[in-house]
Structure 1
Amino acid sequence: MTSSQKESTVFHAIADKNRRRMMDLLVERERPVNEIAAHFKISKSAVSQHLKVLYKAGLVQRRVEGPFRFYQASPHALREVYDWTSRYEKFWIQRLQKLGDYLDSKN
């Protein structure tokens, strides 16, 4: 998989609000699928599909223990997202500063 394809896969994975919430849970600690599913109003099957997307993107690690699957965040893949978005940080800082200056001048 090329770097560009990997980046697209990661962006696709974090584009969904349920997957972002799952990442929030998994950053705290490793959790079994049933525990993750308890936090959502979607089927356990849907939760498993979301976890599969996160796993394929490299955002989570999976451990199997008997019939149970445990997931834990592996946020190193988010580094690519950070690297890409940080290119625009200077742009937004300048824009927000100009907006702040404009609003200050109106007071």
Structure 2
Amino acid sequence: MRRDVFQAIADPTRRAILSLLAAQTLTLNAVAENFNISRPAISKHIKILSECGLIEIKDKGRERYCEAKLEKLSEVSLWIEQYKQFWESKLDALETYLDQLQKDKKQ
């Protein structure tokens, strides 16, 4: 199944994994130690993040290291930007309206 970045960030555990890996590269075991869920569950989350291109798994000796590749989050940022502009214009209009109400009230 083809997954996208939005599926990856939809889950709070995956967002927490991304936050951990954004700060440093960790082994799979080190990632799992930060959560109170089973290692197979962590592996499933890691797999989804990897399929989406948000993390890369590298073998170094007998360990597997997870490294964040956050460039793919730009898709999310672009998508959010359109709604940010929409809400900023609505809030600006509300501010103008409230300012006008204040002026009318003072008169």
TM-score, scaled to structure 2: 0.81
Equivalences for residues 12-31 of structure 1 within 5 A = 12-31=7-26
Report how many residues are paired: 101
List alignment gaps of at least 5 residues for structure 1. none
Task: Give matches, 1:79-90, under 5 Å.
Answer: 79-90=74-85
How far does residue 103 in structure 1 lie from its aligned partner after superposition? Answer: 6.6
Give deviations 1:51-77, integer Å, cap 9, x for gaps. Answer: 110000000111112332111110111
What displacement does 1:94 show? 2.3
Secondary structure in 2 matching 1:61: strand
Identity level (%): 37
RMSD of Structure 2 on Structure 1 (CA): 2.1
Unaligned runs of 5+ in 2: 103-107
2:65 to 60, 67, 70: 70
- Offset, 1:97: 3.5
What's the secondary structure of 1:88's corresponding residue?
A: helix
- The letter of the residue matching 2:61 is G
Larger Rg: 2
Deviation at 1:95?
2.9
Structure 1 runs of 4+ aligned residues shifted over 2 Å read 94-106
